[in-house]
Copies of this chain bind each other. A is one copy, B any other.
Amino acid sequence: MQQKPGPFTFITPTAPVATPTHGGRAKCLQRLIRLDLPVPRTVALSFDAVHAIAAGCEPDVGAILAEFPEDALLCVRPSSEDPDWGGPGSVLNIGMNDASFVTLADRIGTEAATALYLRFVQGYAVHVARLDADIFEDIHGVDSDALSEALRVYQDEAEEPFPQDPGVQLAGVLRSMARAWEGTTARLLRQAKGAPADAGLGLVVQEMALGLGAGECGSGVLQLVDPQTGKRQITGRYLSQSQGREALTGGKAIYLERDPRGPSLEELAPQAFAALKEHAALMRQRLREEMQIEFTIEDGQVHILDGVRVSRRGRAAVRIAVRLAEDGIISREEALMRVEPRALSEMLHRQVAPAAPRDRIGQGIAASPGAASGAIVFSTREAQAYAARDEACILVRRETGSEDVRGMHAARAVLTERGGITSHAAVIGRGIGRPCVVGASDLHFNMAKKTLTTRDGRVFRRGDIITVDGTAGDVLAGTPEMVEAAQDDSFRTLMAWADAVRDIGIRANADTPADALTAANFDAEGIGLCRTEHMFFDADRLTVMREMIFADSPQGRRGALEQLLPMQRADFIELFRIMEGRPVCIRLLDPPLHEFLPADRTGMRDLAEALDRPLSDVERRVELLSEYNPMLGMRGVRLGIAVPEIYEMQARAIFEATVEANRAGLKVVPEIMIPLVSAKREVEMVRAAIESVAGQVRGRTGAEFEFRLGVMVETPRAALRAGDIAGYCDFLSFGTNDLTQMTYGLSRDDAGRFMSTYVQQGVYDEDPFHVLDRDGVGELLRIGAERGRSADPGITLSICGEHGGNPESIAFCRAVGFDYVSCSPFRVPVARLAAAQGAISDKIK
């Protein structure tokens, strides 16, 4: 037997408004009532009504009380558009007084009624009369003495007796809650949660369902899924003779469904449990969402007090959305829209368990998600030693450079003192899926003594175990409990749905076979950026590279490069093999040559020995090649034109690899990308050189093959002159990292020092290295895309900077008409989902 649901009344302010808003809770309760669920009588006050009360208007308590039975106990709760925005903290009660106490004592017993009255008086005193909580601290026990004492203390402190009139109580409660919403603390809190400045508060007045008294009485919460995993499983708690959410904290709470671990509501009150299950299923079906239900049982009868969306993270969000769509409750498109793209990245990495205790010893920028524990090491050599023993280690550096990449591969996670979201460590970390915290400047890094010292003086040495939480940006001592990464069926289903609707390509940036494997696993449609410089840092290659740098003639350089050729070719064959004919875009050598030379004296001495040259020669060469602003120096295509042998060797390696891959049955059309272009003539010259190499390889091997040549647009000038440049190439790929640096005149390596202050002070809305700057950099992208397309409508346009995987950037790239975005392999799923959401949003418009 279902209890008839209570009436639902909206109270709007005297001044009429077009569509009064009452907040999410009110709307939800109204829907539950329309579904004939057993919700107590409810009155909802609109935002405008509450705002008027806060501003000093007298609430029309008579009208509200008239909706309820005389002498009913009521409770008042906040109702806002988003539960995250908070609001007045407590649920406040109305209607308790000396008279109702007598009635209530008859119904639920004197002790329970006394406890309720006591709680009532204290709540009212603190939240409405604004008295100190500690005025009641000498009152102990739950009896009539305590109650009298409490009422006396109230009268002394408030200088008036505890109000007996429910109307007076209600007016006080409404006023207090209305004002709490408009106070500074609440406003700052809302701001922090991202609420709009004019977010409003509604209030819901509801008849109390007590959960106390004769028969089976109690309260609890229920949901049909496990909020951690999203799996179908009734979870929640129930506590007899309790109110509100006590079941969640009370020690004697029981399970809901029959459970081997202990007693359950199903056993205790099978009918009530069945009713609850039925209500929950109906709510899921009709509210089209997994809901958490707050309920009360009074003498075996179920009352539903409230329903809120089950809060969820990463994998739970995916599973819930997919299940709702599979059950036909929502469409696939709606399921796609319901998952926050960034939530996916949680699933792709091991994480510190949300409930695990955290011994935080430092904090920095969360540069690459996931968490890993291991022994502290301070050098690539040590990291490799650990890796050789298959022991976990964390690479700790002031900052990383190309020479640390092998160390990063060998370590489980990386921690640096300096750098920002697009520093070397961050970019590589994300690329190879290593958790990474950068810019941990509150830790003192002593590289000489090989120690990390915390603010409060704790010292961590080489070999000590720490955990890098790259999702949160934390450095933790020891090894907290972890949650493993998992790509379950739901994930794969969601991804398939996303691919079915999205209309922009997603590729991955991948420098190594390992990266390419990850990219292929995540169904990237190709490699959008393969940075070849990382291929030159293996010990044997580095030596040859340095020989090349020290060669005095083109012949000498060619001789050294000749040795690198077979290695490069092997790299490319491997990449082509892994990508199985999907496009691979290879960027020709980009960094300045000095990056391949040692920076310190020991390194230079070693090099002098290796090359059998005097140390002074090495020092002189290093000095000659050093630059004031390496970012703006002799690199990219400038190097390609000054030392043409390098690009020639790379082109040959690419073409020979293509021939070999095609002979093995693949159909490879390699893409070659020229970095740091600023004038069309650069492209013209490199194109001529590469075409000549292609001709030679075709001639020598007798094999035909095609290739595509493109430009990495990363100087503002290349974007502005895209029209000219388009005439010499097949694709333009916008490198938004460097483009952002040059558009702002801001080096990402040096920006870390002030970027957070700049964003905090609102000088920049966002870190432009993190979120694509649509107004400045974006304008250059738009100009470049327009001019490139109008010169050559068939040209392929893409973005391959760190921004490539950002949902906001993807929306932008779709709007500008790019063909694909390329991002680090681990962001590919995020990008696929974000692209799908963009396409769906456009369809809805």
The residues of A with any CB-CB pair to B shorter than 8 Å are: 627-634, 638, 641-642, 676, 678-679, 681-682, 685, 714-717, 720-721, 738, 741-747, 749-751, 753-754, 757-758, 761-764, 773, 775-777, 779-780
| Residues on the B chain within 8 Å of A742, using CB | 632, 716, 742-743, 745
The CA-CA distance from A754 to B639 in the complex, in Å, is 9
Closest to A685 in B: B763
Q: Is the CB of B715 within 8 A of A678?
A: no
The 16 sampled A-B contact pairs (Cβ below 8 Å) are A627-B747, A631-B747, A632-B742, A633-B746, A633-B747, A634-B754, A641-B761, A678-B776, A685-B763, A715-B745, A715-B746, A716-B742, A716-B743, A717-B744, A721-B775, A742-B742
Q: Is the CB of B758 within 8 A of A641?
A: yes
Q: Is the CB of B641 within 8 A of A741?
A: no
Task: Specify which of B682, B744, B758 is in contact with A715 (CB 8 Å cutoff).
Answer: B744
| Residues on the B chain within 8 Å of A638, using CB | 754, 758
Closest to A748 in B: B632
Closest to A757 in B: B642
The CA-CA distance from A680 to B776 in the complex, in Å, is 12
| Residues on the B chain within 8 Å of A745, using CB | 631-632, 676, 678, 714-717, 738, 742
The CA-CA distance from A484 to B81 in the complex, in Å, is 83
| Residues on the B chain within 8 Å of A676, using CB | 745
Q: Is the CB of A641 within 8 A of B763?
A: yes
Q: Is the CB of B678 within 8 A of A746?
A: yes
Task: Specify which of B632, B682, B761 is in contact with A741 (CB 8 Å cutoff).
Answer: B632
Q: Is the CB of B632 within 8 A of A780?
A: no
The CA-CA distance from A642 to B631 in the complex, in Å, is 24
| Residues on the B chain within 8 Å of A682, using CB | 763
Given A715-B743, A720-B780, A743-B716 in contact, is the A764-B632 Cβ separation under 8 Å? no
| Residues on the B chain within 8 Å of A678, using CB | 743-746, 776
| Residues on the B chain within 8 Å of A715, using CB | 743-746
Which A-B residue pairs are the 7 nearest by beta carbons?
A632-B747, A717-B776, A629-B747, A715-B745, A633-B750, A716-B716, A628-B749
| Residues on the B chain within 8 Å of A776, using CB | 678, 716-717, 720-721
How many Å from the CB of A329 to the closest CB on chain B?
A: 46
Closest to A753 in B: B634
Closest to A745 in B: B715
The CA-CA distance from A373 to B589 in the complex, in Å, is 46
Closest to A423 in B: B628
How many Å from the CB of A625 to the closest CB on chain B?
A: 9
The CA-CA distance from A90 to B627 in the complex, in Å, is 52
| Residues on the B chain within 8 Å of A716, using CB | 716, 742-743, 745, 776, 780
Task: Specify which of B628, B717, B762, B763 is in contact with A630 (CB 8 Å cutoff).
Answer: B628
Q: Is the CB of B685 within 8 A of A746?
A: no
The CA-CA distance from A678 to B721 in the complex, in Å, is 22
- The CB with the most chain B CB atoms within 10 A, among A629, A763, A777, is that of A629
The CA-CA distance from A638 to B763 in the complex, in Å, is 10
| Residues on the B chain within 8 Å of A775, using CB | 720-721
Closest to A624 in B: B753
Q: Is the CB of B717 within 8 A of A747?
A: no
Q: Is the CB of A750 within 8 A of B685?
A: no
The CA-CA distance from A631 to B745 in the complex, in Å, is 8
Given A776-B721, A780-B720 in contact, is the A628-B750 Cβ separation under 8 Å? yes
| Residues on the B chain within 8 Å of A627, using CB | 747, 749-750
- Further pairs besides A631-B632, A633-B747, A716-B745: 20, Cβ < 8 Å: A628-B750, A629-B632, A629-B750, A630-B750, A632-B745, A632-B747, A634-B753, A641-B763, A678-B744, A678-B776, A681-B762, A681-B764, A685-B761, A716-B716, A716-B776, A716-B780, A720-B779, A720-B780, A721-B775, A738-B745
Q: Is the CB of A679 within 8 A of B741?
A: no
Q: Is the CB of B743 within 8 A of A717?
A: yes
- The CB with the most chain B CB atoms within 10 A, among A627, A642, A738, A746, is that of A746
The CA-CA distance from A297 to B632 in the complex, in Å, is 67
| Residues on the B chain within 8 Å of A634, using CB | 750, 753-754
Closest to A777 in B: B717
How many Å from the CB of A369 to the closest CB on chain B?
A: 26
How many Å from the CB of A784 to the closest CB on chain B?
A: 12
| Residues on the B chain within 8 Å of A753, using CB | 634
Closest to A625 in B: B753
How many Å from the CB of A628 to the closest CB on chain B?
A: 4
The CA-CA distance from A69 to B353 in the complex, in Å, is 113
Q: Is the CB of A679 within 8 A of B749?
A: no
| Residues on the B chain within 8 Å of A632, using CB | 629, 631-632, 741-742, 745-747, 750
How many Å from the CB of A787 to the closest CB on chain B?
A: 10
The CA-CA distance from A641 to B30 in the complex, in Å, is 52
| Residues on the B chain within 8 Å of A750, using CB | 627-630, 632-634
The CA-CA distance from A556 to B746 in the complex, in Å, is 28
| Residues on the B chain within 8 Å of A685, using CB | 761, 763
How many Å from the CB of A734 to the closest CB on chain B?
A: 14
Q: Is the CB of B628 within 8 A of A631?
A: yes
The CA-CA distance from A638 to B632 in the complex, in Å, is 20
